[in-house]
Amino acid sequence: MSYQKYYVPESSRYPIFAAIALFLLVTGAASTINDLGKPDSNSVYILYSGFAVFAITLFFWFRTVTKEHLVGLDSAQLKKSFVFGMAWFIFSEVMFFAAFFGALFYVRNFAVPWLGGEGEKGLANILWEGFEASWPVMSTPDLGSAFSLPEKNMSWPGWGHAMEWLPLWNTVVLLSSSVTVHFAHLALKNNNKRVFNIWLGITVGLALTFVGLQVAEYYEAYAHYGLTLNSGIYGSTFFMLTGFHGFHVMMGGFMLSVMLCRSVFYNHFDPHDHFGFEAASWYWHFVDVVWVMLFLFVYIL
């Protein structure tokens, strides 16, 4: 059996810089959340530094990989490894969100009912006597609680107010973007770069629209509903799930924007060689699927 030559790149410092950046990013994010409400905290600067270093590292790293591809250094075997690499990356993201969905499931189906006196572990209703289990948790008999409980939740408001409900419009926008990125892929396979650029541009526009709507939703939650990250278990699960998803939307939108720039300004991609765009589109479909689950389990059920 004959094997193709496998291109091995020169030694690179990019993985080391990426590891340092991720360390700063995770440390800064955790510290920022723990220091909420502390005006003298500098944790947010660690978070911003991690973002900046990571963005710069990825820019130069991906630019190097693109240049290697354009000069023909990669083989079919290496391209196959790219496919597996992206697949494993998306799988790791699936596990990431599975942990948060698992936490939401545990809280809603076990912890809150136990506090309300349900089940074997809640028979005595020990912590809060008279507490009635319900979701979202909007009240607590613990008057000394440090949590500022919300006045209103973000759940389904009923058909009478459906058109004013931002999560519904977010869903329409994001699902539409999944369709437009698919149309872009079909256009590229048919070697119609003009149509490809149009559909990809629309997808990027929809991504920006989603982020804008989520910013408006967060403002509404904070300013009008009293719902914050410190609003007990409901506030923390709501903002952790929707916030991390919003971050992934921004990442996916950035990926698609880079692909659009490569196509428009550098005429990259052809019908048989466009894995950069294909990988970004896979990621975008993954983001859409996660939002459907969020919409169902965080907002509807």
**122 assigned to some structural domain:** no
Convert the pLDDT of each residue in 180-220 to its tens digit: 999 999 999 999 999 999 999 999 999 999 999 999 999 99
- Amino acid (one-letter) located at 90: I
Strands (E), 90-206: none
- In the listed set 54, 69, 84, which residue is the last one of a domain according to the structure? 69
Structural domain for 43, as ranges = 12-69
CATH number of the domain that residue 19 is part of: 1.10.287
For the CA atoms of 184, 186, 191, 196, the dihedral, rounded to the nearest 10 degrees, stands at: -10
**282 assigned to some structural domain:** yes
Query: Which residue bears the tokens 């590292």?
Result: 57
Give the DSSP letter of residue 10.
P
Q: Are residues 91 and 18 in the same domain?
A: no
User: For the chain, what is the domain count?
Assistant: 2
Position 33 scores a pLDDT of 79
Tell me the two tokens of residue 221. 């939650």
Q: Are residues 47 and 157 in the same domain?
A: no
The tens-digit pLDDT sequence of the chain (301 residues) is 455 666 666 788 999 999 999 999 989 988 887 877 677 788 889 999 999 999 999 889 888 888 888 888 777 787 888 899 999 999 999 999 999 999 999 999 888 888 877 776 666 666 777 777 888 887 776 655 556 677 788 888 888 888 889 999 999 999 999 999 999 999 999 999 999 999 999 999 999 999 999 999 999 988 888 888 878 888 889 999 999 999 999 999 999 999 999 999 999 998 988 999 999 999 999 999 999 999 999 999 8
Q: Are residues 21 and 97 in the same domain?
A: no
Convert the pLDDT of each residue in 136-151 to its tens digit: 887 776 655 556 677 7
Tell me the two tokens of residue 47. 């978070």
DSSP string over 86-130: HHHHHHHHHHHHHHHHHHHHHIIIIIHHHHTT-SGGGTT--SSTT
Position 196 scores a pLDDT of 96
- Inter-CA distances, 32 with 27, 45, 189, 226, Å: 8, 9, 45, 20
**90 assigned to some structural domain:** yes
Position 66 scores a pLDDT of 87
Contact 210, 174 (CB under 8 A): yes
Q: Are residues 32 and 150 in the same domain?
A: no
Q: Are residues 56 and 165 in the same domain?
A: no
Position 143 scores a pLDDT of 55
